[in-house]
Amino acid sequence: MLERQEKTALAVLVCVIGIVLAVHILFNAVGRPLVTEPYSPEVPDGALVLLEGSIEEITETSTGGHLILSVNGTTVFLPENVVAGLELHENENVTLYGVVQTYRGKREVVVASSGDIQILK
């Protein structure tokens, strides 16, 4: 009898993990635009934003590894782990998701993953 209960518990656990994974994938594909707002200077720190535009400038930080982009006049910070999976060029059009923060008195959008940036053709 115990063996049957263990099989049932394992099946329930696998189903729950599958559902959580499916919701995560679905949210990344469809849900993110529902909880973001277009970037504007009025958006508060900590907000998840969508920024679309052309890369005007690409600068490597003095400590190396990180990149700072200027997209439509907005500063975008790309940490080293994000940069590793990307090849970006000036004048490319991009769509990106990031979190707004103020760094040394200047507002910027911080991108958390290379999957949060799409290069538009």
> Do residues 24 and 63 share a domain?
no
Cα–Cα distances in angstroms (integers) from residue 57 to residues 8, 50, 74, 89, in the given order: 57, 19, 10, 8
Number of domains within the chain: 2
> Do residues 52 and 91 share a domain?
yes
Domain range holding 95? Answer: 38-120
pLDDT at 49 over 80: yes
> Do residues 46 and 21 share a domain?
no
pLDDT score recorded for residue 36? 78
Polymer length in residues for the chain: 121
pLDDT at 61 over 70: yes
**pLDDT tens per residue across span 74-86:** 999 999 988 887 8
Which pTM value belongs to this model? 0.72
> Do residues 4 and 48 share a domain?
no
Cα–Cα distances in angstroms (integers) from residue 116 to residues 53, 86, 103, in the given order: 14, 11, 20
pLDDT at 1 over 60: no
Residues 60 and 36: their CA atoms lie apart, in Å, by 27
> Do residues 56 and 112 share a domain?
yes
pLDDT at 27 over 70: no
> Amino acid identity of 25?
I
Ordered DSSP codes for 87-119: ---TT-EEEEEEEEEEETTEEEEE---GGGEEE
> Do residues 17 and 64 share a domain?
no
